[in-house]
Amino acid sequence: MIQTVPFEKWLQRNYCGPACLAMVLNSWDETRSFSQRKIADEIFDSGSQATYNSELVLFPRTKGFESYSFQGNLQILKDLVAKDIPVIVLTKTIKQVAKGHYRVVIGFDDDENQIIFHDPLFGGRRAMRTKAFMKVWELGKGRNQSRWMMAVVPGQSPFPFPTLQNDPLTSINLATAFYRRSDFSRSREQWEKVRESLGRDPYPLYSLGMVSLRQGRLDEAEAYALEALNLDAKSAYAHNVLGLAYANQGKMLPALQSLGQALQLAPKEGFIRTHYLQVRAIYIEKARLEYNQKKEKSNEKTG
């Protein structure tokens, strides 16, 4: 077990992310200078009342540390802890509740087949049977919810696992954090790394398309979306980007068609529905104005 990780209870509800990050950073800092409150001020999203894992990855890098995120498994978890590297994991709070909750894994009890962790809600040095832990570690589907984990080490210390160091999830998380800050150049740089790592995967392509949209590079956004759709014609997110690219170019009918396809493929995605409704409203208003103009011209001819 790693003995140097101080436990911190969360200061208020849903501060599990800032609390876990404070524990991990202070485990490397003898002066315990990292304040949960100050971390929360920088990374906690008051709107969603949550901390995005992308923010957890970026914050240590602004303080002289290196951080790496990846989809883990039990062996990776054990290997990291064996090197005295505490690991932040994103789990369900309990098996029956599919709400994200961060914990810090600090050890194992192989005799009892248990995983030991600090839990900012339930307390320090808690233990859970390995089988039960693996179930709560499956928060959902996708790279950011299925067995997400993060390791932090001081910037001057080499990371002992080169394969994990180059995992594309780190770049995905960093790209997302930079995008949220409207730092589109750095977001693009990270998405390009993801594209190189993942090869024929539409995810980095339509993500680059969104970056291009925000930078006003509409033809480029359209091209990225079409390239993504060539790889996966049923990608709702690629259809969404394509629709937005068309809309921003004034091609309202193709935009509405693409966004309608996106909504059909992912009816529960609220942001896609919002985009569809916005473009539909513009399309209807434009059609109304054109109709009125034609009617006025017709009246002038017959008047």
CATH assignment at residue 282: 1.25.40.10
Mean pLDDT, the chain, whole residue set: 95
Q: Same domain, yes or no, for 19 and 164?
A: yes
Q: Same domain, yes or no, for 20 and 162?
A: yes
Q: Same domain, yes or no, for 79 and 139?
A: yes
Q: Same domain, yes or no, for 154 and 58?
A: yes
Q: Same domain, yes or no, for 161 and 258?
A: no
Residue 7 lies in a domain: no
| Each residue's pLDDT tens digit, 44-60 | 999 999 999 999 999 99
* pLDDT of 298 above 80: no
* pLDDT of 302 above 80: no
Q: Same domain, yes or no, for 69 and 213?
A: no
Q: What is the average per-residue pLDDT within 170-194?
A: 98
Residue 227 lies in a domain: yes
| 102: confidence class by pLDDT, cuts 50, 70, 90 | very high
Instruction: Give the residue from 129, 153, 169 where a domain finishes.
Output: 169
Residue 212 lies in a domain: yes
Quick one: pLDDT at residue 65? 97
DSSP string, 92-121: EEETTEEEEEEEEEEEEETTTTEEEEEETT
Q: What is the average per-residue pLDDT within 2-16?
A: 96
| 188: confidence class by pLDDT, cuts 50, 70, 90 | very high
Instruction: Give the residue from 154, 169, 184 where a domain finishes.
Output: 169
Say which CATH number the domain at 50 has: 3.90.70.10
Q: What is the average per-residue pLDDT within 1-22?
A: 96
Quick one: pLDDT at residue 97? 78
* pLDDT of 18 above 90: yes
Residue 62 lies in a domain: yes
> In the chain, how many domains are there?
2
Q: Same domain, yes or no, for 107 and 218?
A: no
* pLDDT of 81 above 70: yes
Residue 302 lies in a domain: no
Residue 9 lies in a domain: no
* Domain membership of residue 266 as a residue range: 199-292
Q: Same domain, yes or no, for 159 and 251?
A: no
Q: Same domain, yes or no, for 116 and 27?
A: yes
Residue 150 lies in a domain: yes
Instruction: Give the residue from 169, 190, 216 where a domain finishes.
Output: 169
**Pick from 71-75, 124-128, 295-299: least confident:** 295-299
Quick one: pLDDT at residue 303? 56
Q: Same domain, yes or no, for 151 and 281?
A: no
Q: What is the average per-residue pLDDT within 166-187?
A: 97
Work out the percent of the chain whose per-residue pLDDT is above 70: 99
| 297: confidence class by pLDDT, cuts 50, 70, 90 | confident
Q: Same domain, yes or no, for 45 and 163?
A: yes
Q: Same domain, yes or no, for 20 and 117?
A: yes
Residue 10 lies in a domain: no
